[in-house]
Structure 1
Amino acid sequence: MSYDYYFYKVKQSTAEDLAKGTYEELLETYGDDDFLFLNQFPFEELHSNGDLTVDEIESITEGGVSLFIDASMKNKELDVIRVGKDGLKALIEAYRKRVIRQFRQLLGEERDSLGRTTRELQEDTARAQLYEWENNPPYDFSTRNGVSGSLRYEYVIFELVYQYKTLTDEDEVLFCGH
């Protein structure tokens, strides 16, 4: 099981070229000595996350196919799945469900996993939001891409919807874990 999950965007023509490549060809073009790492490929990172559930991963990868089809790429710890816009939409839905669950906990409809009372959970949430707005605003003027630097699901959802809406017919969405 992976610890970090990534969504990437790549042009479909590039994805097709990569799919046909052998390990040796890809290593020669993108590799570093004897190793081939995902960050060496011409992928644009859309999002990363370290805590997806098994159900969320299954939803994201449903209908997806492996990017690398050459036999020499099997068992190279480069399991990249072409999930398309549907995979990105599944992530957005998973995050939406997490936000709903959080608000249900705040209303006392569910107790959190730490056993906190509704009042304690409300106070912790308000303090965390206040700290973020005072010390680390959830918007970012310093980068060209993206609107928010926040890791809160509410902001990430809007970031992902923006990414989803700006995908063209020539773009391919990839998902991988490592």
Structure 2
Amino acid sequence: MRFQAARSVGVATAVLLGTLGTAAWAAEGGAAKGKAPQNEVLPTPADAQIEPQRRQFSDMEVKLLQELELRRVELERREQALNIRERLVDLAESRLTGRVTRLEELQTSLEKLLKNLSDKEESELEQLAKIYEAMKPAAAATVLDRLDDKIVFDVFKRMKNKNTAKIMEKMNPLKAKIISEMLAEKSDLPQF
């Protein structure tokens, strides 16, 4: 703003000098005497050089400016660090989102497999129950005595109580006791 005001003053001065110079030339009879104005170079606003005033800062102002500069540099450093952290968080978030998506896909796939397996297992156990029900109780008991307790339990759960009782009557007493306790507690393994 100061520079514009000074420049305006310089332009006004140049115009005034130019006008005065022309007036003086005319007053001397320059045009009447046949004298042409000499090639005088009049200052123009562009030629006028205005030097800005140099302000002297006090020691306190210099110290304050230095502190402000240090603060600005520190803020820029922090901003860069925050930008880097933000990019790292975004990257980690995108990776995590990808992993979560992949885990959800795997979970869905695993659930389908387990359901298919469970359906197949259920079908097989139903089939076994029908086979043992069709057998003579003594023959069924001989085979079931050799099987795992959990399998015997699962087969008996799918059989009619009347047939289960006839087979258990012919089974090893210890095995029959264990299976009876399992049936009483209905302690089945958790379903997945």
TM-score band, normalised by shorter chain: under 0.3
Structure of higher CA gyration radius: 2
- Judging by fraction of residues, say which structure has more helix: 2
- Give the number of the structure with larger relative contact order, counting CA–CA contacts within 8 Å between residues 6 or more apart: 1
Scaled by the length of structure 1, what TM-score is found? 0.19
